[in-house]
Amino acid sequence: MQNVPETIWTAERCVYMDDQEILAQLPPRLLSWYAGSARVLPWREEPTPYRVWVSEIMLQQTRVEAVKPYYERFLNALPTVEALAQAPEELLLKLWEGLGYYNRVRNLQKGAQVVMERYGGKVPASFEELRSLPGVGDYTAGAVASIAFGIPVPAVDGNVLRVVSRVLSRRDNILDPKVKRRVEEEIRAILPSQAGDFNQSLMELGALICLPGGAPKCLLCPLREVCRGFAQGTAPELPVKTKPKPRRREERTLFLLFSPQGRAALQKRPETGLLAGLWELPAGEGTLSRQEAEKWLFAQGLEWERLEPGPKARHIFSHVQWEMTSWVVRVRGEIPGFVWASGEQLRRDYALPSAFKAYVPLLRENGTKEGPQEETS
C-alpha cells in the first residue's frame, strides 16, 4: 500500500467503517474547514435571534446572493421585532417584493406579534417555543436555537440531507419524512459544543462544495477522506429523490388597463390559495382571442379606445406553471372594482408578485409619474 496516496487509502478505508464512525469524523473536520472558509454574510456578522430568524425565513427556497440586498433593506426598515409586528401590510409586502412565497413574510409578522404578546418582544430561547411560532418548522427553529442561542439541536435542510446521503452513500429517498427524522437524530448524536457553527458548516459545505445536480467538488471537500460516496464513486448520483409530479399548466390572459389619466388597474387576489391576498393584474382564464378579450372587457363594464396585443410571459411555481398572454387596453374611464395606480404609486406602494415582473416595465412606462389617490370599489 506504500505507493497508494494517503487520500485514496483513507477513502477506501471508510467503506469498511460503520455509519457512526464516519459521522463522528464530521465535527472536527467541518469546524476546522468552516473556520477558514465560511462566507462573510450580513446575518453572520451580528447573529442576534431576530436577525437570524429573518435571514432563515428569507433563505427558504431562495439563493443567498438574491437574499443579501433584501435582508439589508428589510432590517433597515424593520430593525426590531416590535417594528416588524407593527408594520403595515403594504410596507411588508413591498419590502418582500421579488422574493416570492409571500406567506413567508406574513407568517414572519404573525410570529413577531406572538413574540410581542407572549414573550415581551424577546425571541424565545427554546427550540420548542421557537417551533410554536407561525411559519417556523423544525429546521428554522433548530437554526435559530443553535446559531443565536448555542442550543445543541440539529438544523437539517436539503443541503444537510445531501451531504449525509453522499458521505454514507445512502440511497434512501430524502423527501421521505422518516429519512429526515433519522438524519436529525444522527446529527443530534454528534453535535459538538459549537452547535451553531457545526450546523452552519454542514449547510455551507452543501452550498459551496457538495453541490446538487450531480456536480460535487469532491477534490476540494474536507470530508473526502471519510466519504463513502467519494470512495465508491456514487456521490454524483446522490441523493435519491422521488420524482415530483408534473406541474399543472394554466393559461391566463392578462389585461394591462390604462385610464385616460395614465393610471393602471390592479386588483387583489382571493385571501386563500396561490398568491393569496396579493396585488395582481386583472386576468381572464385561458388564452383569449381579440373577440374573447372584448367580451371580457364588456363583462367588466369597461369601454375602450384601443386594444392591442401585449407581451407573453411564463412563470413557474412549485406545482403550477402559468403561460400568460396579454392585451394592452386604453379604457375611456376608471370604474369601481379596480385600484387605479400611477407609475409612481406602482414603484412606491404596490408589491406585485414576481409572476408579473415581465409586465412591470410596461406598467411603469405607461403610467404617469404621479397621480391622485387611487379609487377602490
Cα end-to-end span (Å), the chain: 82
The answer to whether the CB of 82 falls within 8 A of the CB of 61 is no
In percent, the amount of the chain with pLDDT more than 90 equals 78
pLDDT band at 355 (very low <50, low <70, confident <90, very high): very high
What is the rounded distance in angstroms from the CA atom of residue 290 to the CA atom of residue 294?
A: 6
User: Would you call 56 a catalytic residue per the annotation?
Assistant: yes
| Residue 197 pLDDT greater than 50, yes or no | yes
pLDDT band at 5 (very low <50, low <70, confident <90, very high): very low
Q: Which three cell numbers mark 1?
A: 500500500
Domain chopping of the chain, boundaries: 6-237, 248-366
| Residue 370 pLDDT greater than 80, yes or no | no
The predicted pLDDT at position 242 comes to: 81
| Residue 344 pLDDT greater than 90, yes or no | no
> What Cα–Cα distance (Å) separates residue 141 from each residue in 27, 49, 117, 205, 327?
21, 11, 19, 20, 46
What is the rounded distance in angstroms from the CA atom of residue 36 to the CA atom of residue 376?
A: 56
Please give the average per-residue pLDDT across 174-185, as a whole number.
95
What is the rounded distance in angstroms from the CA atom of residue 311 to the CA atom of residue 56?
A: 35
Return the higher-pLDDT residue of 45 and 364.
45
The SS3 of residue 326 is strand
Return the higher-pLDDT residue of 305 and 375.
305
The predicted pLDDT at position 367 comes to: 61
| Residue 107 pLDDT greater than 50, yes or no | yes
Please give the average per-residue pLDDT across 184-198, as a whole number.
97
The predicted pLDDT at position 376 comes to: 41
pLDDT tens-digit series, residues 215-238: 899 999 999 999 999 999 999 999
From the candidates 56, 225, 334, 374, give the one annotated as an active-site residue.
56
Return the higher-pLDDT residue of 242 and 310.
310
The predicted pLDDT at position 7 comes to: 47
Q: Which three cell numbers mark 295?
A: 367580451
The answer to whether the CB of 331 falls within 8 A of the CB of 256 is no
Handedness of CA 43, 32, 224, 185 (dihedral sign): negative
pLDDT tens-digit series, residues 152-174: 999 999 999 999 999 999 999 99
Strand partners, 248: 320
| C-alpha count within 13 angstroms, C-beta hemisphere, residue 2 | 0
The predicted pLDDT at position 371 comes to: 43
Which residues are CB-neighbours of 233 under 8 A, at least 6 positions away?
A: none
pLDDT tens-digit series, residues 248-262: 999 999 999 999 998
What is the rounded distance in angstroms from the CA atom of residue 247 to the CA atom of residue 338?
A: 31
pLDDT tens-digit series, residues 116-136: 999 999 999 999 999 999 999
6-237: CATH number = 1.10.340.30
The predicted pLDDT at position 349 comes to: 87
The answer to whether the CB of 145 falls within 8 A of the CB of 153 is yes
| Residue 375 pLDDT greater than 50, yes or no | no
pLDDT tens-digit series, residues 61-78: 889 999 999 999 999 999
Looking at 3.40.640.10, 3.90.1150.10, 3.40.50.80, 3.90.79.10, the CATH number of the domain 248-366 comes to 3.90.79.10
> What Cα–Cα distance (Å) separates residue 42 from each residue in 64, 75, 196?
10, 10, 16
* Average pLDDT value over all residues in the chain: 91
pLDDT band at 244 (very low <50, low <70, confident <90, very high): low
The predicted pLDDT at position 373 comes to: 40
What is the rounded distance in angstroms from the CA atom of residue 202 to the CA atom of residue 183?
A: 12
Please give the average per-residue pLDDT across 32-39, as a whole number.
96
Q: Which long-range contacts (CB under 8 A, 24 or more apart) does 118-124 make?
A: 121/80, 121/81, 121/82, 122/49, 122/81, 123/49, 123/50, 123/53, 123/81, 123/148
The predicted pLDDT at position 368 comes to: 56
| Residue 144 pLDDT greater than 50, yes or no | yes
The answer to whether the CB of 189 falls within 8 A of the CB of 232 is no
| Residue 214 pLDDT greater than 90, yes or no | no
Please give the average per-residue pLDDT across 35-57, as a whole number.
96
Q: Is 335 left (phi over 0), alpha (psi -120 to 50) or beta?
A: beta
Please give the average per-residue pLDDT across 103-123, as a whole number.
96
pLDDT band at 11 (very low <50, low <70, confident <90, very high): low
